[in-house]
Amino acid sequence: MARLQMKPSYGSPLTPDATEIKPLERRVDTVLKVEPSEGDGFLIAIEFQTARAPGKGSSWSYYVAYLRAKFGMPVLLVTVCNDRPTASWAAGPFECRVGTWTTQSTRPFVLGPANVPEITDESAVAREPALATLSAIVHSKSPNAPAILGMVARGLRAFDKATAKYWCEWLEVGLENTPVRETWRELEKMVATYFPGKGTLFEETYLEGKAEGKAEGKAESILSVLERRGIALPQDIRDRITTCTDLDALTLWFDRSLTATTAEDLFVEE
């Protein structure tokens, strides 16, 4: 009986050059360098994730490996999620394995509704702006989201322009693809009012021109917030808002629109 000759199988040789010739954009949402008073420094790579994404695990593994190789520092990958299913998926681990052997495993540190509390105290924003900002992003799908954002906006008034701008931009990026992003864009203008003479977007857009234009812009913001929150707007109340020219009253109504349960709540006496 003839013996069957088996030819050994070897892997096909590939180039060992790991250089990327074709430009490919890979961008982490935020990278921070942490240098504690005790212990070694490290990097924090922060990703805002609003839904599961095929291939994201591979991208995160690349980010960690690239940052580690470039800066020679350990990397903590933090994923910020605004719903529990996404947070559960984002925890990984995302593995590169052959058979039973795992060559690389990426395990993000996940911040989500299960482990980040809702911020309900305005003074907490001044004490811990990072936690307040992350809380607003994590709970952006909560029914309380407009109220939380309003509180964060008021709390950021306590900071200097650069600090307030930094956290405002964090929120705007983190709220991408969420229903309350436009609500926050309106609130950012309220934060900017505390920096008169600084050439902010609010000043250029809202403080130039006639008082009627300012009032009209504020009235539109109030209506927009109420409509996005699903609050019914009787025609008489809509007319009262759109015909008002008192900027102080409109500002008060805008603040109340963030937490009101009915349109009539805008006009309740203190």
Which residues is 77 bridged to in the sheet? 45
Task: Answer with the one of 111, 145, 177 that is the final residue of a domain.
Answer: 111
Q: Residue 16 falls within a domain, yes or no?
A: no
What are the strands, taking DSSP E only, across the chain? 30-34, 42-49, 75-81, 94-98, 101-106, 109-111
User: SS3 of 184, please?
Assistant: helix
Residue 10 in any domain: the answer is: no
At 14 the pLDDT is 54
Percent of the chain predicted with pLDDT > 90: 28
> Chain centroid to CA 36: how far?
25
Residue 138 has pLDDT above 90, yes or no: yes
Q: Are strands 101-106 and 109-111 parallel, antiparallel or unpaired?
A: unpaired
**218 and 90, same structural domain?**
no
Cis peptide before 93 (omega within 30 of 0): yes
Question: Which segment of 108-122, 128-142, 156-170 scores lowest on mean pLDDT?
Answer: 156-170
Residue 1 domain-assigned (yes or no):
no
User: Is 47 in the same domain as 178?
Assistant: no
The pTM of this model reads 0.62
Q: Which of 6-10, 65-69, 84-88, 149-153 has the lowest mean pLDDT?
A: 6-10
**Terminus-to-terminus CA distance in the chain, angstroms?**
102
- 238 and 146 together in one domain: yes
Q: Which of 82, 111, 140 is the last residue of a domain?
A: 111
Give the domain extent around 57. 30-111
Q: Judging by DSSP bridges, how do beta strands 75-81 and 101-106 pair with one another?
A: unpaired
Across the chain, how many H-helices and E-strands are there? 11, 6
Q: What are phi and psi of 241, to 5 degrees?
A: -70, -45
Q: Are residues 248 and 132 in the same domain?
A: yes
How big is the chain, counted in residues? 270
Query: For position 137, what pLDDT does the model report?
Result: 93
Structure tokens at 174: 């983190």
Domain end marker among 78, 111, 144? 111
Residues 56, 57, 62, 67: is their CA dihedral positive or negative? positive
If asked whether residues 242 and 132 sit together in one domain, one would say yes
Report the SS3 class of residue 104. strand
Q: Tell me, yes or no, whether 183 and 248 share the same domain.
A: yes
H or E stretch at 23: none
The DSSP bridge pattern shows strands 94-98 and 101-106 to be antiparallel
Closest CA to 193 of 204, 183, 182: 204
| Average pLDDT, integer, range 226-240 | 86
Which of 98-107, 132-141, 242-251 is predicted with the least confidence, judged by mean pLDDT? Answer: 242-251
pLDDT for 11-51, tens place per residue?
556 545 544 444 444 567 888 888 888 888 999 999 989 88
Number of domains forming the structure of the chain: 2
Same domain, 126 and 237: yes
Identify whether residues 89 and 201 lie together within a single domain.
no
d(CA 91, CA 88): 6
**Between 77 and 15, whose confidence is greater?**
77
